[in-house]
Amino acid sequence: MKAMAQRTWNPADPLELLELPTPEPKKGEVRVKVQAIGVNPVDWKMRSSGPLRLAARLVGPKPPVVVGVDFAGVVEAVGAEVTRAAPGDRVVGGTNFSRGQRGSYADTVLVREDQLCRVPDTVDIAVAAALPVGAVTAWMAVVDLGRIRDAQPADRRVLVLGASGGVGQLAVQISKMEGAFVAGVCSTKNAEIVAGLGADVVIDYNHGDALAQAKAHAPFHVVIDCVGSYSGAGCRALLASRGRHIMVAGDKPSAAAQVLVPPFKSKAILGRPTGARLEPLVAAVAAGELHVSIAQKLPLTSAEEAHSLSQTSRMTGKLILEP
Ligand SMILES: NC(=O)c1ccc[n+]([C@@H]2O[C@H](COP(=O)([O-])OP(=O)(O)OC[C@H]3O[C@@H](n4cnc5c(N)ncnc54)[C@H](OP(=O)(O)O)[C@@H]3O)[C@@H](O)[C@H]2O)c1
């Protein structure tokens, strides 16, 4: 199999196309021929710094380091006792280094069957590959950690900071699917995109402090920060009494420290895709209720270019790599 990988954990190592042994699926495992890979900021963050990189070094497979999580493709082979996947199935999923798995920047991945979700023929494989980390994180932010369903329908108000990004676009749409009033924060150039996703109010951060502007629409049951540079105290000030501030981005120490400060209204999130979490999201895409925009498709060998684009933090759609 071929993979774009770093030969060592040295952050200066480039991603190179390497030939690796094709793995044979053991009990409960599934080998997938990858057709599309979704790019997420975590893919390049894991190469350079942060707690995820440290964890991956400690518990992940030995180098060469194959980064990436999101993938979609076709099942090629299954191990013993696999019941939910068969060769030829179209599937989407996310790799998991804590299970000793290599990442998804490859033409082949090996995962367990509970990491996979079937993709109907009506859903484009690149669109499926754009879902795992972004959509699962957005779902967890709105529904699981944000507990939107605990609020009375009239009190379901969500503020999404970074509404035009990969996670933010899905958080806006999932909040609308949950019947919430949604305010989305973005720049002037992306206001139309965010309005088109169904946001009831678009707050333009080029027109002044976004949290100050959001006060007019508070209190919110959920404030979701997909940017990481907004003040935690400022976000919490906009919350309803049982509301929550969800830190999707927030790898700054100050943001992590805020979790420890009473009244414990800020929650950091780790969006981990599983087959069960992907199922309702893939179904919503198939039903035309959830839309993912694809900014650009690049060959897998252009992974470095994809990382440079993602590092600008200016993307308004997903980057897809194709093996
Ligand atoms: N905790 C988790 O499990 C998890 C999961 C997924 C992602 N993340 C993190 O969440 C962050 C977002 O991920 P993503 O995939 O959505 O990234 P992305 O698609 O690259 O986000 C880019 C978007 O951010 C917007 N943006 C940048 N600065 C902004 C600001 N000050 N206010 C409002 N919007 C702003 C940009 O819009 P403008 O050009 O209009 O500014 C752009 O549309 C990343 O830090 C990522 O690492 C965490």
Distances 245 to 155, 177, 253 between C-alpha atoms, Å: 15, 20, 16
**Domain boundaries for CATH 3.90.180.10 within the chain:** 2-131+273-322
Buried b (16+ CB within 10 A) or exposed e, 23-33: eebeeebbbbb
List per-residue pLDDT tens for the chain, 323 residues long. 999 999 999 989 999 999 999 999 999 999 999 999 999 999 999 998 777 888 888 999 999 999 999 999 999 999 999 999 999 999 999 999 999 999 999 999 999 999 999 999 999 999 999 999 999 999 999 999 999 999 999 999 999 999 999 999 999 999 999 999 999 999 999 999 999 999 999 999 999 999 999 999 999 999 999 999 999 889 999 999 999 999 999 755 455 555 555 557 888 899 999 999 999 999 999 999 999 999 999 999 999 999 999 999 999 999 999 99
Q: Report CA torsion sign: 70, 73, 75, 77.
A: negative
SS3 85: coil
Backbone angles phi, psi at 7, to 5 degrees: -70, -30
Within its chain, how far is the Cα of 295 from the centroid? 15
- Cα(41) to centroid(ligand 1), Å: 8
Is residue 146 packed enough to be buried (19+ CB in 10 Å), middle (13-18) or exposed (0-12)? buried
- Does ligand 1 come within 6 angstroms of the Cβ of 249? yes
Is residue 16 packed enough to be buried (19+ CB in 10 Å), middle (13-18) or exposed (0-12)? middle
- What pLDDT shows up at residue 253? 43
Buried b (16+ CB within 10 A) or exposed e, 228-247: bebebebbbebbeeebbbbb
Distance CA 88, CA 41 (A): 30
**Domain boundaries for CATH 3.40.50.720 within the chain:** 134-268
- Cα(225) to centroid(ligand 1), Å: 9
Residue nearest to atom 27 of ligand 1 (CA): 313
- Cα(169) to centroid(ligand 1), Å: 10
- Cα(226) to centroid(ligand 1), Å: 5
Distance CA 176, CA 158 (A): 9
Contacts of residue 320, defined as CB under 8 A and 6 or more positions apart, other chains included, come to 36, 37, 38, 39, 126, 129, 130, 294, 296, 297, 298
Distance CA 239, CA 216 (A): 12
- What pLDDT shows up at residue 48? 85
Give first-to-last CA distance, the chain, whole Å: 11
Would you tell me which CATH number, out of the four given (2.60.120.10, 3.40.50.620, 3.90.260.10, 3.40.50.720), belongs to the domain 134-268?
Answer: 3.40.50.720
Domain topology for 2-131+273-322:
Quinone Oxidoreductase; Chain A, domain 1 (3.90.180)
Are the C-beta atoms of 99 and 112 separated by less than 8 Å?
A: yes
Residue nearest to atom 10 of ligand 1 (CA): 249
- Does ligand 1 come within 6 angstroms of the Cβ of 187? yes
